[in-house]
Amino acid sequence: MAHRDHVAAALRMEPGERLLAAVRAAPRGTALMVGIAAGLGAALGYVLATSGESTVLRAAVGGGAGGGAGAALGVAIASLRARSRPPGPVALSVALTQRRLVVLRRSLVTNRPLGSVAEVPLAEVAGIDVSPPRPVAARRLRITFGDGSAWDLEAARPDHPEELVSALEEARSE
């Protein structure tokens, strides 16, 4: 089942409501934080595993375990940073229907939506901006509201976050 189908199932839509777009997202800076922590963890694991009597297997296991621990630490740090600004957890899905914008938290293990974190009527959404594609990094996603506030996120490139922009235009034209 595709991510969009999982989001549609988790939304609990009202009769006549339909999902226009859905993307996986995270608070801005999460990917960088996790990447740096994983790299440092892998380096530290390698150093610890190769101190003293060294084998290739010990070095590989140490680097792998350190990388995993570093990535977990990066997720934990990013989670703490994300709590101070909406919409909350590190792993998110942003969904747009013709009536509302919904942010759902996602499982870090299964990648499936777990429940709604925030819900905003479409009339309160002033705009959605997506950065141009970049070779490696996640796409920047900024959702602005009528009161001037904004959510700064990073969106998964494979999900085509620009579809949120066109979906917002489609919903407003209905």
Q: What is the pLDDT of residues 39-66, one digit of tens each?
A: 666 666 656 656 655 555 555 555 555 5
CATH 2.30.29.30 domain span(s) along the chain: 3-28+86-173
User: Which alpha helices (DSSP H) does 51-104 contain, by range?
Assistant: 56-82
Please state, in angstroms and rounded to a whole number, the distance separating the CA atoms of residues 74 and 100: 32
**What is d(CA 11, CA 21) in angstroms, rounded to the nearest whole number?**
12
Distance (Å, whole) CA 155 – CA 140: 6
What local confidence, expressed as pLDDT, does residue 53 receive?
56
Predicted local distance difference test score (pLDDT) of residue 1:
47
Torsion of the alpha carbons at 155, 157, 158 and 160, rounded to the nearest 10? 80
Rounded Cα distance between 131 and 2, Å, is 24
pLDDT of residue 69: 54
In this prediction, residue 63 carries a pLDDT of 52
Residues of the chain predicted below pLDDT 50? 1, 80-87
pLDDT of residue 37: 57
Q: Going by CATH, does the domain composed of 3-28+86-173 fall within 3.10.450.50?
A: no
Please report the pLDDT score of residue 82 as a whole number.
Answer: 44
pTM of the predicted protein model = 0.68
Position 169 scores a pLDDT of 92
